[in-house]
Structure 1
Amino acid sequence: MSARPQGRAGRLWLRQRVTAAEAALDLLERKLGILRDQQDELHRLAGATGEEWERRCREADRLLTRATLLGGRRVLPLSSTGERAGLTVEQTTLMGVTYPRRVVFDLPDRPAPFPSGIALAPARRACRAALEAACAHAAAAAAAAAVDAEVTATRQRVRAIERRRLPRLRAALNEIEVALEEREREDGARLRLLAGHDDRP
C-alpha cells in the first residue's frame, strides 16, 4: 500500500479508497455474473456444434466411401475444382472480452471440371457441410475458451480485492480511527483540566 497522509487527512484518504475498492468489487462481481451466463451458453453451443460436426463427418465419410466404391479411387482427385477455400472470422465483444462470433467458410460451389460419377456430388456437398460444421464448432470452442480465461482472471481480481485489498484498507482505517479517537479523548481531558484550572479563584 502506498504512503498515506496521517491524521484526519489519512482517515479521509482511506475512506475514499475503501469506497473505491467496494465499487470495483461490485462492478467485477456483476461482470463475473454476466460472463458466467455467457460461459454456460457458449459451452452448450460448443457441445452442440461438436456433435453436429461429428455427425456431418460421419455422413461425409459414408458418402465418400460410397462414391469410391461406385467410381473407384480415381474419382476423388477428379472431384477437385482447384479453387481455394477462404475463412472469415467474425468477432464480437462482451464485457471487454473479444472472441469469435462465427467463422464463415467460403468455397465456390462449382462443379468438378470432369465428370466424376453421380455419387460424388452428394459426397462433395456432405464434405462442405462437414467443413462448415467444423468452422461453427471452432468458433464456439474458441469463444468458450476466451470467456473461460476472462472468468478465471475476473475471479482472481475479485478474490484479490476481497481477501487482500479491502481487509488491509479497512484495518488501516480502523487503526487510524482508533488513534484519532484516542487523541480526541486526550485533547478533551486536557481542555477539561485547563478549564478546571481557570475556574480556580
Structure 2
Amino acid sequence: MTKQFHDNVLSDDALDQLFHEARSYNGWLDKPVSDEQIRAIYELMKMGPTSANMQPARIVWAKSAEAKQKLSDLASEGNKTKIETAPVVAIIGYDIDFHEHLPWLFPHTDAKSWFEGDEAGREQGAFRNSSLQGAYLMFAARALGLDCGPMSGFDNAAVDKAFFADQPRVRSNFICGIGYGDASTIFDRSPRPDFDRFNTIA
C-alpha cells in the first residue's frame, strides 16, 4: 500500500506496529519494562517538534509498586487496576515556566522574552505542546516494541501535589501505562472515520 509513495516511507509492518494494529491496552502481561527502555522512549520522544523547541513536558515514570499505588489512589475507579498492573505509568506534566529554559533550548533568538509576563499564554502553549510530547511518547514506546494505555480520569491537583511537589510550576496533563499489552483485555477496535467525513482539502 505504501509503495506508491516515496522510497523512504516506512514498511507496512512498521506502520502496522505504530498505527494499524496498535491498540490502547487496559491490561498487561507480567513482563517488566526496564529503566533502559524508559530512557530509550525519552530519547526518541524528545526529538518530536515543539513550538520554539519549548520542550514543556515533565514526566514522572511511576514504576515502583509504591508509586503506582499512590497514583492509583488518586485515580477513578475504572483506572485503578490499569495503573496498578502496568509495568510503568508515565505521568506527563507540563511546566508553565518552560520559557526559563529557552535561552539554551532555542538559542537562535531571545525567545524567552516572547513569553515573559504572559502566564496564561505560557500555560496554553505548555499544555498544547506537552500533549504533543505525550503522543510522541506513545509512538516512541510502540516503535520500541511496547504497548500503551493512555488515561485521564484522575485528580489532577492531587497528582500535582503528590508527584510534582518539587516542581510547583508543573501541572499534570495525562497518564499513560506502558508495557506489554494483554490482548484479552481489549474489545474490538472502535470505528475510524473515512477521510471525507471530517476533512477538507482547500
Same fold flag (TM > 0.5): no
Q: Hey, which of these two has a bigger chunk of helix by percent?
A: 1
TM norm structure 1: 0.20
TM norm structure 2: 0.20
Larger radius of gyration: 1
